[in-house]
């Protein structure tokens, strides 16, 4: 396939009047449109105003999609214990399937091609099947919770790790490597030391399996871990093996100097979720400092109960604006840096090689966007446009691993209207009232 348009190949490279040529699951050429049209004259063609690497959702809870709007404007502990955890606990296999499909639909139609996806304790198979079918690239895993967890989610340590191992064997590396496993302890508060160490063992045992968890999102969380272990949260995670180049920690808001040194030294990836951090009033992550230290920062939307939309462009905008006001510095966290976080940094955190840029030999994860919308007029700078003005609704085309998954307003890998309808009809046992 030969895709034509202004090519935003990565955070530094723009090819006006360019093209991207895809064969199989790979990009084989990026360059001048005229030359490529001549060289690859036999390829099917399509044209979009802008072509960009697919966005990476660096921390997502697809299976919380049915909880969109159920607990807005509520205190954090009520939010978690009265709404979100009961919702997760209550979902049967069908609910989990519906929720995951709804989440992946929203991601794919708004330009997210890769997700680092935090599932729930039970029915993870449903999400793996949905991701495989709908075509998102995913680093995903079942959640482990073996202490301090509500009934319905609390699980025996060994059973949780065994189930994780079953899922690794069944799904890791499937769909041409598009689906990869992340061992996913929920956070240090709800996991025993045995569970956390067991997570590391599994990640080491299986080639390419990585680790994804929440860390230091909330001040109470950090205090609880310190009371229980005598250590700051990141030090505790480091001690039990949950730092390193194969680990993604979501949030990392409440970290001190020594913890940040650990993150930098170990090459641990951090996912910044600005809208979620704002809406849950968690705090503002020290992203400028992380970037200065060379820590790899990805961007994430978190889940619909704490953000309400999974639109990655809303999140890019928020990522920059929140740092600017925090530092009272309008020059910080500029558009190109945010674009990098949302694409190649995210892919690095997710552990997918050759993903996150448009260049020959890299995986064909491509989005096509229209600029024929008022918010794109005038268009002085593509990075500024993508980060500060664009919206997921501008996405007209999404390709993952060489497959067209969304085109002309239609999901090509499933029935979007049927997914939405099943989600509307699924009755959650808890309500927003």
Mark the segment that binds a copy of itself (CB under 8 A) among 16-24, 73-81, 148-156, 359-367. 73-81
Q: What is the footprint of a copy of itself within residues 263-292 (CB under 8 A)?
A: 275, 277-284
Sequence-ordered list of residues with C-beta below 8 angstroms from that of 207, at least 6 positions apart, any chain: none
Q: Which is nearer to a copy of itself, 39 or 384 (CB)?
A: 384
Question: Contact 217/277 with Cβ under 8 angstroms?
Answer: yes
236 binds a copy of itself (CB under 8 A): no
End-to-end Cα, the chain, rounded Å: 50
Residue 271 or 314 with smaller CB distance to a copy of itself: 314
Find the binder of a copy of itself among 48, 79, 181, 254 (CB under 8 A): 79
d(CA 403, CA 414): 13
Task: Tell me, residue by residue from 342 to 381, as one string, x for binding to a copy of itself by CB under 8 A and - for no binding.
Answer: ------------------------------x-xx-xxxxx
Pairing of strands 137-141, 410-411: unpaired
Residues numbered 85-144 forming contacts with a copy of itself, rule: CB under 8 A: 102, 105-106, 109
Give yes or no for residue 330 binding a copy of itself (CB under 8 A).
yes
Interatomic CA distance for residues 330 and 321, integer angstroms = 8
Residues 6+ apart with CB under 8 A from 167: 124, 125, 128, 141, 142, 181
Total of residues contacting a copy of itself (CB under 8 A): 66
Tokens of 136: 């998102």
Alpha-carbon distance 83 to 89, whole Å? 10
Cα–Cα distance measured from residue 430 to residue 177, given in angstroms and rounded to the nearest whole number: 37
Q: Name which position in 299, 322, 342, 366 contacts a copy of itself (CB under 8 A).
A: 322
User: According to CB under 8 A, which residues from 148 to 207 bind a copy of itself?
Assistant: none
Query: In the chain, helix, strand, coil percent, each to 5?
Result: 45, 25, 35
Closest CB 188 distance from a copy of itself, rounded Å: 21
| Least distance between a copy of itself and beta carbon 144 (Å) | 26
Length of the chain: 433
Query: Which of 103, 141 has the CB closer to a copy of itself?
Result: 103
Enumerate residues 6+ apart whose C-beta is below 8 A from 411. 105, 108, 109, 134, 405, 419
* Residues in contact with a copy of itself by the rule CB under 8 A: 66, 68-70, 72-76, 79, 102, 105-106, 109, 275, 277-284, 307-311, 314, 317-318, 320-322, 324-325, 327-332, 334-335, 372, 374-375, 377-381, 384-385, 388-389, 391, 393, 416, 420, 423-424, 426, 428, 431-432
């Amino acid at each position: 396939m030969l895709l034509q348009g202004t090519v935003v190949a990565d955070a530094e490279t723009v090819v006006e009047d360019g093209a991207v040529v895809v064969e199989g699951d790979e990009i084989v050429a990026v360059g001048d449109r005229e030359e490529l049209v001549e060289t690859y004259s036999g390829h099917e063609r399509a044209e979009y105003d802008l072509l960009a690497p697919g966005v990476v959702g660096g921390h997502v809870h697809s299976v919380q999609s049915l909880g969109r709007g159920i607990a807005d404007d509520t205190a954090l502990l009520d939010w978690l214990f009265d709404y979100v955890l009961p919702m997760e606990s209550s979902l049967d296999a069908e609910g989990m399937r519906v929720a995951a499909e709804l989440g992946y639909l929203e991601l794919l139609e708004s330009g997210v091609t890769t997700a680092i996806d935090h599932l729930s304790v039970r029915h993870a198979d449903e999400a793996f099947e949905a991701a495989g079918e709908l075509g998102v690239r995913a680093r995903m895993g079942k959640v482990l919770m073996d202490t301090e967890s509500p009934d319905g989610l609390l699980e025996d340590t060994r059973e949780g790790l065994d189930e994780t191992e079953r899922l690794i064997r069944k799904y890791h590396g499937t769909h041409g490597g598009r689906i990869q496993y992340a061992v996913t302890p929920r956070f240090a508060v709800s996991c025993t030391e045995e569970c956390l160490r067991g997570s590391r063992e599994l990640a080491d045992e299986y080639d390419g399996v990585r680790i994804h968890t929440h860390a230091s999102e909330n001040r109470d969380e950090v205090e609880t871990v310190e009371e229980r272990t005598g250590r700051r949260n990141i030090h505790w995670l480091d001690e039990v093996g949950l730092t390193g180049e194969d680990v993604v920690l979501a949030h990392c808001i409440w970290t001190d100097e020594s913890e940040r040194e650990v993150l930098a030294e170990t090459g641990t990836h951090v996912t910044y979720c600005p809208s979620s951090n704002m809406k849950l009033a968690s705090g503002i992550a020290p992203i400028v400092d992380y970037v200065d230290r060379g820590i790899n920062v990805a961007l994430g939307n978190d889940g619909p109960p704490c953000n309400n939309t999974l639109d990655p462009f809303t999140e890019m905008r928020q990522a920059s604006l929140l740092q600017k006001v925090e530092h009272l510095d309008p020059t910080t966290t500029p558009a190109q840096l945010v674009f990098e976080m949302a694409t190649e940094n995210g892919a690095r955190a997710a552990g997918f090689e050759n993903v996150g840029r448009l260049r020959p030999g890299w995986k064909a994860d491509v989005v096509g966007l229209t600029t024929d919308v008022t918010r794109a007029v005038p268009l002085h700078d593509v990075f500024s446009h993508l980060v500060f003005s664009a919206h997921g609704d501008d996405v007209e085309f999404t390709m993952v691993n060489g497959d067209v998954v969304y085109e002309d307003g239609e999901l090509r890998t499933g029935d979007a209207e049927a997914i939405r309808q099943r989600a509307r009809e699924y009755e959650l046992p808890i309500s927003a009232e």
